[in-house]
Amino acid sequence: MSAETVIKPVRYQPPGDGGGRRPRLSAARIVLLGAALTAAAVLAFLFMARSVALEFTPPASDISVLGGPALEFGGVYLLLSGAYQVEATRDGYYPIAAPFTVTAERNQAFQFKFAPLPGLLTIEADPAGAQLTVDGRPLGATPLAEVPIEAGKRTLRFTHPRHQDLEMTVEVAGRSERQRIDAELLPNWGEVRYATQPPGARILIDGEDTGLTTPATSEILAGEHEVALALEGHQSHRERILIAPLEQREAPLILLRQSDARLRVSTRPGQAGVTIDGQYRGESPISAELRSGRAYRVQVFKAGYAAHSATVTLKAGEARRVSFELEPLTGLVSVLAEPPQAQLLVDGKAKGSANQMLELPTRPHRLEIQADGYAGYRTEIRPRQGLTQEVRVKLLTLAEARLAALRPEITTAQGQTLKLFKPSPIRLGASRREPGRRANETLRDVALQRLFYLGIKEVSNAEFKAFASGHDSGTYEDQPLNKDDQPVAMVSWHDAARYCNWLSRQENLPLFYAEEFGKVTGFNPSATGYRLPSEAEWAWAARHRENGELLRFPWGEALPPPNRHGNYADRSAGHLVGRIIFGYNDNYAVAAPVGTFEANAKGIFDLGGNVAEWVNDFYQHPAPENTPPLGPAAGEYHVIRGSSWMHGTTTDLRLSFRDYGADGRRDLGFRIARFAEAEP
């Protein structure tokens, strides 16, 4: 290079720039571009959408489809595959709010039926004050104005103390229509006319004074009764009559014999039954007008006392008093109670320590045993003369009594069985030294305390389809997963939680999950409605042993499982899945009917194998060392526990294995749980 050559810097200019400004898109071009994008989106929607007919009986007046974009053309909707909720109304009917699932089929139809609102019935009866039941359910006393009664054929039954029962069948139109029902009850008495000589005798029916004196016509309820005619200074006339409703009769003239003696009977204690010549005269003390010159047999009796009798002959004009001192009959009762400080009450009166021998009259007595901090005990006992009876009582603590009051098993409206468990604190996860352990199985303690019910079987396809009739668990490599008795699969966590709420509504239980637009937005920890089990509850039911140790595998501590222990990846699934348990065969290539294999020691089926299971908890890694009983407060995914028919390795067959997700899988289902009591 010569000394005269000089390299000078110049400004760089990109090719084609020319120093000018870039051209901008015009407004018209932007509009055209937007229209093109919109048209493309619409065309894509139309291409992917399925034709769905929503049919209502009777036709709906207003319909809304929630859960995604929806286009309606002449009663047919274009919808993408997925879960939706339809809301529809019609005057005079309950509104419909029902889920449905659109599948991949091109044309689909869903039927919904409106239930009519109750009818408004005004009901009157002659006479007024008749008690009314509708289909056996008490409704109150007539007249009743515009009471709501469900539509359909209803059985109305009217009862009145002095009238014959009346039963009628009424077709209730419903739909808030007003109807009027008039009922006339027939008398349930007959009439008997009595006349005496001399007149003026009081008429008593079954010992009660009617307020009438002879001659008079007395209304007597149908049936058998004792009639007494009593006149001062005369012997009473007594007779038993049987009378039919609406019967009318006239009794023959009754001649009353003049009495010339009076007997007064008293007892100690009082209120003993008194008979004279076998005729019951009432409870002591009583007075009786009798004839002189003849013998009368007087008997007195009272529960818990020896009966007494005497023969009495009265003289003309005599007024005699006869008194009986009743001797109590007693029996011995030995009471043995725990705890030792328990106290005893007999017929409401304190008797001191519960552990004692009692001598009590031979009549019914109420025994109560109480102690601070314990649930009380109450029983009724009738001592027997000459015998010693023994009462042994061990009072339950308040916590034990609360547990004893709960049913050990409950059944849902769908017939599913849940067992009651009283859990204990449990350690989740696995030691780092355990073969097959995953990083998300960190050791952590959960203080389980609340009693809970757990479904003994996984939810089946048939049970889930009662909630979502269009659900299809599908197939896997041409193997069916959608049979009624197989566990439901291909359900998201939200679908499983919404099923729990639906089941709670069937039994009017407080909902555990809060829902909004088909999605679960939170939960109420104090609610006793159905829910998914917590991760800790699931692990406790699957792993906890009475000696406090935790199971490693569903069957024990080492591979392989005993033959036909559960539905895992076996020889029959070798052509479907990658890893199987060598030499093991359970005869099911995919999901087996729920409850096919033997239950675990707690009576729960399929906690290992068949399908993996959603639990309530949000997934969090690393999990907090002291995990709350219902899991973390928030998260994007939810925990999945348990192995499935697809699993055959040491890692996923262990009971500490945990997975996570949000959407359904072919080998993923769930079971139900609920708290036994509201949160204290």
- In tens, the pLDDT along 139-159 reads 899 999 999 999 999 999 999
**∠ at Cα 649 (492, 431), nearest 5°?**
90
The per-residue pLDDT of the chain, averaged, comes to: 90
Question: pLDDT, tens digit, for every residue of 371-393?
Answer: 999 999 999 999 998 899 999 99
Asked which of 39-48, 189-198, 615-624 is least confident by mean pLDDT, the reply is 39-48
pLDDT at 230 over 80: yes
Q: What is the mean pLDDT of residues 503-531?
A: 94
Q: Which CATH superfamily is domain 42-113 in?
A: Immunoglobulins (2.60.40.10)
Q: Following DSSP, what letter does each residue of 396-447 receive, concatenated?
A: PBHHHHHHHHS-SEEE-TT--EEEEE----EEES--TTSTT--TT---EEE-
Q: What is the mean pLDDT of residues 613-622?
A: 94
Tokens at 316, concatenated: 């003309």
pLDDT at 526 over 70: yes
* DSSP letter (8 states) at residue 624: P
pLDDT at 531 over 60: yes
Q: What is the pLDDT of residue 2?
A: 45
Q: What is the pLDDT of residue 12?
A: 56
Q: Do the beta carbons of residue 644 and residue 607 sit within 8 Å?
A: no
pLDDT at 561 over 80: yes
pLDDT band at 484 (very low <50, low <70, confident <90, very high): very high
**∠ at Cα 630 (626, 631), nearest 5°?**
55
The answer to whether domain 119-184 and domain 189-255 are alike in fold is yes
Domain boundaries, the chain: 42-113, 119-184, 189-255, 261-325, 330-399
Q: What is the pLDDT of residue 4?
A: 52
pLDDT band at 216 (very low <50, low <70, confident <90, very high): very high
* CATH of 330-399 given 2.120.10.30, 2.60.40.1120, 3.40.50.1100, 3.10.20.30: 2.60.40.1120
Q: What is the mean pLDDT of residues 518-534?
A: 94
Q: What is the pLDDT of residue 8?
A: 66
Q: What is the mean pLDDT of residues 604-626?
A: 92
The more confidently predicted of residues 519 and 592 is 592
Q: Is the dihedral of CA 516, 522, 525, 531 positive or negative?
A: positive
Q: What is the pLDDT of residue 13?
A: 58
Residue 89, classed as helix, strand or coil, is strand
Q: What is the pLDDT of residue 125?
A: 93
Number of C-beta neighbours around residue 422 at 10 A: 13
Q: Which fold has domain 261-325?
A: Immunoglobulin-like (2.60.40)
Q: What is the pLDDT of residue 415?
A: 95
Q: What is the pLDDT of residue 235?
A: 80
Q: Following DSSP, what letter does each residue of 475-522 receive, concatenated?
A: EETTEE---TTSBP-S--HHHHHHHHHHHHHHTTPPPSEEEETTEEEE
Q: Do the beta carbons of residue 46 and residue 78 sit within 8 Å?
A: yes
Q: What is the mean pLDDT of residues 598-619?
A: 96
Q: Looking up tokens 């034709």, which residue turns up?
A: 51
Q: What is the pLDDT of residue 464?
A: 98
Q: What is the mean pLDDT of residues 295-301?
A: 94
Per CATH, the architecture of 189-255 is what?
A: Sandwich (2.60)
Closest among 384, 302, 397, 393 to 345, alpha carbons compared: 393
| Percentage of residues in the chain having pLDDT higher than 70 | 95
pLDDT band at 621 (very low <50, low <70, confident <90, very high): confident
Q: What is the pLDDT of residue 499?
A: 97
DSSP run (H or E) holding 74: none
Q: What is the pLDDT of residue 68?
A: 85
Rounded to a whole number of angstroms, the distance between the first and last alpha carbons of the chain is 96
The C-alpha atoms of residue 374 and residue 385 are separated, in whole angstroms, by: 33
* CATH of 119-184 given 2.60.40.1120, 3.40.1370.10, 1.25.40.10, 3.40.50.300: 2.60.40.1120
| Percentage of residues in the chain having pLDDT higher than 90 | 74
Residue by residue, what is the 3-state secondary structure of 182-243? EEECCECEEEEEECEECCCCEEEECCEEEEEECCEEEEEECEEEEEEEECCCECCEEEEEEE
